[in-house]
Amino acid sequence: MSEFDDATQVDPDGSTAIHDGWDINGNANGGYLMALAARGLLAVAGRADPISVTAHYLSPGKPGPAQVDAEVVKAGRRFTTVSGRLTSGGKPVLQLVGAFGDLAAVPPAYEHIDVDPPDLPPFEECTPRSRNQGAVEVTMMDRLDVRIHPGHSGWVHGDRNGVPEMTGWFAFRDGRPIDTLALLMVCDAFPPAVFHLDMPPGWVPTVEYTVHVRGIPAPGPVKCVFRSQFVQGGFLNEDGEVWDSTGRLVAQSRQLGLTPLTS
Amino acid sequence: MSEFDDATQVDPDGSTAIHDGWDINGNANGGYLMALAARGLLAVAGRADPISVTAHYLSPGKPGPAQVDAEVVKAGRRFTTVSGRLTSGGKPVLQLVGAFGDLAAVPPAYEHIDVDPPDLPPFEECTPRSRNQGAVEVTMMDRLDVRIHPGHSGWVHGDRNGVPEMTGWFAFRDGRPIDTLALLMVCDAFPPAVFHLDMPPGWVPTVEYTVHVRGIPAPGPVKCVFRSQFVQGGFLNEDGEVWDSTGRLVAQSRQLGLTPLTS
């Protein structure tokens, strides 16, 4: 079993565990937590794919036993909508709502896309995201092979380019295919795009995170781009796109995060 | 009492009504439904402002008695997170999750904005969104003063410009100020941006709709822009921005909608 599948197992009664090794300085990654919880919701829905999943982040996810509670709100023809919660250590960690369906069964429809995939050097020529990020330990990088665009990696040594955009490749180190469940994690696996800004350093906590799964990824690493256009009023957005090896969009994401306070 | 406040009243026990006159061909507007339900969630939260609200659309909202059920998931220092549901006629209409807080109390923080407000002619020189949209009756336009950019209104007579972008102004006809609750409706009050495309005609049902309220609007009409960059695989996104009269972003929105089927 792949590391990701092992770490996102949920029993039929909803009991699960937040696994060690998917964290940043001891707090489980938000995308990992969404994927874990969504696996529980997906099972309750009895569908193949997450279509749209939203999570609100309520307390840090620490390694240990956890529980996914999920309720089908509506089982429709195309979608099953599920409300759910991830609880651990007696505290709510995530509150979720999601629509689940079967992306392979969607009939052909009109298409129009204005946007190109990010322009990236080949996987091998991009900069691996390090496990060590200054004083911060990104232990999940032992499991994820995230490669940052060379022009987007100067922030690591304080060379900020002033453009809140982060692009790169994503793959699992153990070669697990990137399926629609994994996309929920992919969209939160990169360093925040605001690391390119001259912002006071600090944690960027997520308030809310939504992923729209827009396609089933073809085999191979995926290309990702994340942008924070609006850092304002104590909040910031981070919008993501994930593109597969055929150049097709497979996910869109948006986070609402908190800006580190200036005081 | 303003028309909007009258139509979004929720009693302390959650009983409410989907009001007539906020619909498009008999189905209540999605933004109106979110504002109605969010008013119920806001009361349960005991906070001033919606910060991030997500709704999944489960069945059409028809005028008549309705119920908002809301549960506080976590009452934190900065946010109160609420899960809720709008039910009417024995059916779930919306499933929601939201974070509520007090935007006036957010301390100053680092800011960085890459984007300008939409470039619009003055309110009076823009084209009023008509109550009659071909065979479709947009009765809510009796209550809303939506003015479309003259370059973005050709679709009404079949003159599509091929660019999935819709810009314009929003105000209430009765002069009600646009507060943070109203922004939930503003982000769904415009014709779909995909009406500019050569897409088969048809209803564009919303699967999921999220609004991030990013500021308290200054007095006056607000400028809005909506874009659908990814019409693909039977789904489409519509991303919105709302800017107040001082040129400050006050809301960001994203919808996941269904593309009319080609068959």
* pLDDT tens, position by position, B154-170: 888 888 899 999 999 99
Q: Is residue A188 part of a domain?
A: yes
Q: Across residues B231-249, what is the average pLDDT?
A: 97
* Pairing mode of beta strands B144-148, B165-172: antiparallel
Quote the strand ranges of chain A, DSSP E.
15-18, 23-24, 27-28, 49-57, 64-75, 80-88, 91-101, 112-113, 127-128, 132-133, 136-137, 144-148, 165-172, 206-213, 222-227, 230-232, 235-243, 249-258
Residue B35 is predicted with a pLDDT of 98
| pLDDT number for residue B263 | 45
Residue A215 domain flag: yes
Place B262 in a pLDDT band, splitting at 50, 70 and 90.
low
* Among candidate residues B261, B249, B168, the one with its CA nearest the CA of residue B216: B249
pLDDT for res B106: 86
pLDDT (0 to 100) of residue B31: 98
Q: How high does pLDDT run on average in chain B?
A: 94
Q: Report the residue of chain B nearest A253, measured CA to CA.
A: B254
Q: Is residue A112 part of a domain?
A: no
Number of Cβ within 10 Å of residue B159's Cβ equals 9
Q: What is the mean pLDDT of residues B77-105?
A: 97
Distance CA B227, CA A109 (A): 19
Give pLDDT, residue B261.
64
The verdict on residue B111 lying in a domain is no
Q: B92 lies in a domain? A: yes
Helix (H) or strand (E) holding B45: helix B30-45
How far apart are the CA of A114 and the nearest CA of chain B, in angstroms? 5
Question: What residues 62-121 of chain A have any CB closer than 8 A to a CB of chain B?
Answer: 73-74, 76, 79, 81, 83, 85, 92, 95-97, 99, 103, 106-115
User: Is residue B118 one of the residues assigned to a domain?
Assistant: no
* Rounded average pLDDT over B250-256: 98
Q: Residues of B numbered 196-255 whose beta carbons fall under 8 angstroms of chain A's beta carbons: which are they?
A: 197, 199-200, 207-208, 210, 212, 214-215, 228-235, 237, 239, 248-249, 252, 254
| Surface of A (180-199) touching B: CB under 8 A | 194, 197, 199
Domain span holding position A181? 3-103+123-258
At residue A262, the pLDDT reads 54
B263 interfacial to chain A (CB closer than 8 Å):
yes
Structural domain contains residue B263: no
- Whichever domain contains A212, its CATH number is 2.40.160.210
Q: How far does B1 lie from chain A, in Å, by closest CA? A: 31
Below-50 pLDDT ranges, chain A: 263
Q: What is the number of structural domains in chain B?
A: 1
Q: Is pLDDT above 90 for B115?
A: yes
pLDDT given for residue A136 in this prediction: 80
Per-residue pLDDT at A263? 45
> Measured between CB atoms, does B59 come within 8 Å of chain A?
yes
Residue B110 inside a domain? The answer is: no
